[in-house]
Amino acid sequence: MSLKAQLEAIIYAAETPITLEQMTALVKESVVAEGVSDEAEIKSRVRSCLVELVGEYGSPDHGIEIREVAGGYRMSTKPEQHEVVRAFAKSLKPPIRLSLPALETLAVIAYKQPVTVPEINDIRGVDSGGVIGTLLDRKLITTGGRKQVIGRPILYKTTKEFLMRFGLKDVNELPSMEEFEKLVAESFQAELIPAENAAGEAQSLASEEARGSVESEPVSEPSGETVHEAEKAG
């Protein structure tokens, strides 16, 4: 089997983005069998084949592509195929839902991380304790230690799952706020549910167009118990 075919199979089978180093370790024996023993040369060959593979999948004849996401490589559908794939996904299972307060809180954490709950509350103008629990449950955020101030509040940051969900290599690839809102609407299949009184919040990060298209069905956010338990664990 060719090196390129092996890399293709590995990336396809991987449930999460796989790094160049991981792939090199997996195919090392095959490359050595071809007479290459230098570590740098082995890695160079793997990288070269990977570049060719990415280029081939970039052809319009393919509906999927190989992208560098969250520090590794993974296969994903091309943007122009999102509508048909979204329709297929919706036919299989209920979409993931986030309330507008949860979306706003996620945006604050993404752009201000690491950040504490009091800091998030100051930015949003409302208590964010309940929605923090939702985002933790969705594995979109995680704790990142404690801030060295009085009370040592927990710091929150986005996760690898967050990068995978939005197709980002790292947080440095975060787009403008307007583009981020569009990504969120697409990723969560535009199933954003406004919570009660959300329209009265001081700083809404969702666009008016997004607000006009969301469902009016209310959703009950989880209590602050999840956050309380996280603080105990921290």
| Domain stops at, among 34, 54, 81 | 81
Report if residue 43 sits inside a domain.
Answer: yes
Going residue by residue through the chain (234 aa), what tens digit of pLDDT does each one get?
688 999 999 999 988 899 999 999 999 888 888 887 888 888 999 999 999 999 999 999 999 999 888 889 999 888 888 888 877 766 765 555 677 788 888 988 999 899 999 999 998 888 888 899 989 988 899 999 999 988 899 999 999 888 887 778 788 888 777 777 666 666 554 444 443 333 333 334 334 333 443 333 433 444 444 444 444 444
What are phi and psi for residue 91, nearest 5 degrees?
-80, -15
Reported for 74-79, long-range contacts at CB under 8 A and 24+ positions apart, including other chains, are 74/11, 74/14, 74/16, 74/17, 74/18, 74/164, 75/11, 75/12, 76/167
pTM of the complete model beyond 0.75 = no
Enclosing domain of residue 38: 3-81
Q: Which residues pair with 116 in a beta bridge?
A: 155
The residue out of 29, 48, 81 marking a domain boundary is 81
Judgement on whether residues 70 and 118 belong to the same structural domain of the protein: no
Same domain (yes/no): 216, 122? yes
Q: Who's near 166: CB < 8 A, 6+ residues apart?
A: 183, 184, 187
Q: Answer yes or no: do 220 and 124 share one domain.
A: yes
Number of other residues whose CB lies within 10 A of the CB of residue 78: 15
